[in-house]
Amino acid sequence: MTVVDVDASNWDKEVLNEKGLVIVEFWHEQCHWCKVLEPVYFELAEEMKDKAKFARLNVLASEENFHLSHKYGIMGTPTIIFFCEGRPIASIVGYQPKEHLKHVIEDVLAKHKECIMKSTELEK
């Protein structure tokens, strides 16, 4: 699967300790715009799997997930946060059409190339 489901129990392993760019969608099942975004997010995850890791956190699945989303200032869903070396480096809130979201991801990759390259070089 090209999108990893994360929660509070595996957050550090799957997001904070990951090398390279990690794109996390904060969502929940009752969110209409999250449902509309889902196929777009999964398509981009497949198309860009060699450039970034894609993950999703259901903010209402547990109290721990809710507290984690609160820690990152999530006020509405869907919200996408971009992480590099465990640090949030960019975010976007609300539904995004596929081409716009792809452009945002490419922009983040270009603007934060140094962080992303540095973090992936550590593995070599």
Residue 83, both tokens: 């992480």
**Tens digits of per-residue pLDDT, 16-73?**
999 889 999 999 999 999 999 999 999 999 999 999 999 999 999 999 999 999 999 9
- Structural domain containing residue 110: 3-121
What is the Cα–Cα distance from 33 to 2, expressed in whole angstroms? 21
CATH number of the domain enclosing 114: 3.40.30.10
Containing 58, the helix (H) or strand (E) segment is strand 53-58
The domain tally of the chain equals 1
Cα angle at 24 between 19 and 30, to 5 degrees?
A: 160
What is the Cα–Cα distance from 54 to 82, expressed in whole angstroms? 9
- DSSP state, residue 13: I
What pTM, to 2 d.p., does this model score? 0.91
